[in-house]
Amino acid sequence: MSKKIKPTSELQGLTHLIMDATLGVTDLVEKMHHQVVHPPFLPSTPIQNIITGIAGITFKSVKWSTKLIGTSISKILAHLTPVIGNIKSSDTKQIILSILNGVIGDYLEETENPLKIDMQFRYQSKVLQIDQESLKENYPNCAGKILLMIHGSCMSDLQWTRKNHNHAEILSEELKKTPIYLNYNSGKHISANGKNLTENLEKLVENWPVPVEEITIIAHSMGGLITRSALYYGEQNQNNWLKHIKKVAFLGTPHHGSPVERIGNYLDLVLASVPYLKPFAKLGKIRSAGVTDLRYGNLVDEDWLNMDRFKLKKDQSQYIPLPTGIEFYSIAAVIGKETSKSKNQILGDTLVDIKSAFGEHKNPAKNLLFKKEHTWIAYENNHLDLLSNPKITDKLKDWLV
């Protein structure tokens, strides 16, 4: 087999993605076909073997054609790369890429697919180059107080604006802070993004146009876990940026994991245990490393290294306490009314329950110990409403002033 051509443009990257997906689905159908023709626990007849042999030739033809056509298209697209590169990126394209990276971002990273998102700081939908001249150009009146916004899984910096509301725009103006947004591949392991954020923050502080007085972080969902991972690795490396962190506010962060991912893990086990459904278990394993990290709120490499991340197991994540010397705040959303106590505890905001958002673990030794006055519940709100509720902006203003 000829060596696979490395994609060099987003269009080539999409072609490779479609080609790999076609091959994957073909494998799935072939295995399902085998399960139907050869029922589990029963001997096969000569007729069944003939049927399987003919079908095998068909499946091989599909795979061979897919590879041939996909490789040919990829070669053609290589010549179009300069033209495609001149097309301006749209907000819609950025959001689609963010969703794609959230679902299969680890695969895109591993295959060096151009569709992968590299971690970057952004402002007003533009990528910021981390050097003093570029920062001065983008922030002609920048302050020494930085407000860093970190989005959640399958999202982008653009989605901090929801229903014509943006916490950062309001808070930065009223609190005299300079807003900056992080954009990252949420399909990668949380610890990988945490390390990367540490490096980027160190570079940002070194190149900020004026002396940095303080950094405030507001993080939504997975963004809160990446923040905690960065704080941990920043301490390990004794990074300079850490001394500027004064306050961190979490919005719907699953500090001890999300029940949605735990349910997905149980579904994997069920599919793999039923012979006729076993081929479909492969579909569940499309989930990215970032998504499976959300099961128990993994923060460091030790939480996943040398482990089968799809294997059903209890919470074995390392206990990483909140660092001292920083004020931490947490807001949880629940879809129910304040009077619906039992429903609120079970459903939370549909993705994160109250206890996880407030760092409460069934093992008291793993509790994060937020101060009671530093926690708040937004009733009749779902996970995304945390981005657009003006009352949350007011609460953040009270805390961050």
DSSP string over 235-276: HHHT-GGGGGEEEEEEES--TT--HHHHHHHHHHHHHHHSTT
227 close to 195: Cβ distance less than 8 angstroms: no
The Cα 229–Cα 335 span in angstroms is 28
What are the residue ranges in the chain where pLDDT is below 50? 1-3, 18, 22-23, 25-26, 28-29, 32-42, 48, 51-52, 54-55, 57-59, 61-87, 266-268, 270-272, 274, 276-281
Residue reference for tokens 């306050």: 247
Q: Which amino acid is at 183?
A: N
Order the strands of the 245-251 sheet from edge to edge: 126-127, 120-123, 178-183, 145-150, 214-220, 245-251, 327-334, 375-379
Torsion, Cα of 42, 43, 48, 49 (10° steps): 130
**pLDDT tens digits for range 196-208:** 999 999 999 999 9
Sign of CA dihedral 307, 320, 350, 217: negative
**pLDDT tens digits for range 88-121:** 557 777 887 888 888 888 988 988 878 889 999 9
303 close to 316: Cβ distance less than 8 angstroms: yes
Per-residue pLDDT, 313 = 77
Per-residue pLDDT, 113 = 79
Per-residue pLDDT, 24 = 52
Per-residue pLDDT, 67 = 46
